[in-house]
Amino acid sequence: MVYRRSLSRVDFPAFNQQLYAADWLPVFAAPTTDTKWDRFQRILISQLDTVAPLRRVRERRPAAVPVTPETRQLLRDRRAALGSADRAEYKRLNRLCRAAVRADCRARYEGELARSGRAALWRVLRPVIGRKQQQQCTVPNITPDALNDYYVTVGPSTSASVPAPATPVTTVLPRVLTCSFRVGPVSMDELYSALMSMKPSSSTGLDGISVHMLQRCFTGLSHTLLDVVNSSLSSGCVPSGWKHALVTPIPKGKISADPSDTRPISLLPAIMKIVERVVQCQLTGYLEQHALLADAQHGYRKCRSTETALHVVTDRVLCAMDH
């Protein structure tokens, strides 16, 4: 049993009007970003409780793939033939049913891929590929402190295991500028673009607010959310609550009491993801504007990927072969 908010039945145009009419003055009058966020969270949660209160729900297995009426008729005919003595007819109907179900599944996934696009390829195909079934068990030897002690040592231990280069590696920037980069406040349009470009995840952190909630409620929260974000950017202060993440240890394969056999999956608060996206957009724009990124860098850049990097390497190999 888990506690969730059901947002599927919320009338968001009416709820945005309710949020717009709410008293957000305590947020604007707060002196620090930490206080602003505490008051913002308290008001938003109280408003959400009026339209989508937390309810205790039971997690259910995913529903079966929807089939066509023709396939349902074949399934009924097969069920009727199961009790008859005609074994050959049952086998024939069984083959037809399996082929019809496969065709319906194929049509459904092809339709989802056509609607979602390439970005949702693995999300659509994951139910088809399947996951390794993990055994449900309790390992009392792994405590949060043991997991934390192991996770914080992964970086230093990995860095210490890498041998030093035989010759010093010189780093040459494409250009050297006298100006410096500074994070500044954002406009309403920039905040809207950053928020809407994020994946509409419904997962919530410790604050109980998801990216999906903020996207659907942006009309009623826009000015208040902009004040909170700009307060953090202008003061350079990140509230302590934004740094607390829900960490879930996922077994790598086998169930073991060794923390090294787990992989940490962290879930930060939605507001922290928004501020990170805003800073990332400003930093990327600064680097691109002043041509401070090497042309050989293809990761974390627009219109570049592993495909473009592979094309460059292949082109250089072919040119070397031609010479």
Q: pLDDT-derived band of residue 203, with 50, 70 and 90 as boundaries?
A: confident
Of the listed ranges 153-162, 168-177, 204-213, 290-299, the one predicted with least confidence? 168-177
Q: Is the pLDDT of residue 171 over 80?
A: no
| Local confidence band at 189 (pLDDT 50, 70, 90 cut-offs) | very high
The pLDDT, as a whole number, for residue 266 is 87
Both tokens of residue 320? 């070397």
pLDDT digits (tens, 9 = 90+) for 240-272: 899 988 888 888 877 777 888 888 888 899 999
For residues 205-232, average pLDDT: 93
Q: In degrees rounded to 5, what are phi and psi of residue 51?
A: -115, -30
CA distance 228 to 27: 8
Question: Average pLDDT, stretch 49-59?
Answer: 84
Percent of the chain topping pLDDT 90 = 42
Work out the average pLDDT over 34-53: 93
Report residue 169's pLDDT band, with 50, 70 and 90 as the boundaries: confident
Closest CA to 228 of 217, 219, 220, 239: 239
Residue 181: per-residue pLDDT: 86
Question: At residue 59, does pLDDT exceed 80?
Answer: no
Q: What is d(CA 304, CA 294) in angstroms, rounded to the nearest whole number?
A: 13
Q: What is the pLDDT of residue 167?
A: 85
pLDDT digits (tens, 9 = 90+) for 276-300: 999 999 999 888 888 888 888 888 8
Q: Is 267 exposed, middle or buried (0-12, 13-18, 19+ CB in 10 A)?
A: middle
Confidence of residue 67 (pLDDT cuts 50, 70, 90): confident
Q: What is the predicted pLDDT for the residue at 174? A: 67
Q: Which segment of 139-153, 216-230, 308-322 scores lowest on mean pLDDT? A: 139-153
With a cut of 70, say whether residue 85 has pLDDT above it.
yes
**Lowest-pLDDT range of 66-75, 211-220, 253-262, 267-276:** 253-262
What pLDDT score does 136 carry? 53
Rounded Cα distance between 4 and 60, Å, is 13
- Which pLDDT belongs to residue 100? 92
Position 302 pLDDT exceeds 90: no
Mean pLDDT of the chain: 86
Task: Please give the full DSSP string across 105-128, using - where no structure is assigned.
Answer: HHHHHHHHHHHH-GGGHHHHHHHH
The pLDDT-based confidence of 210 (bands split at 50, 70, 90) is very high
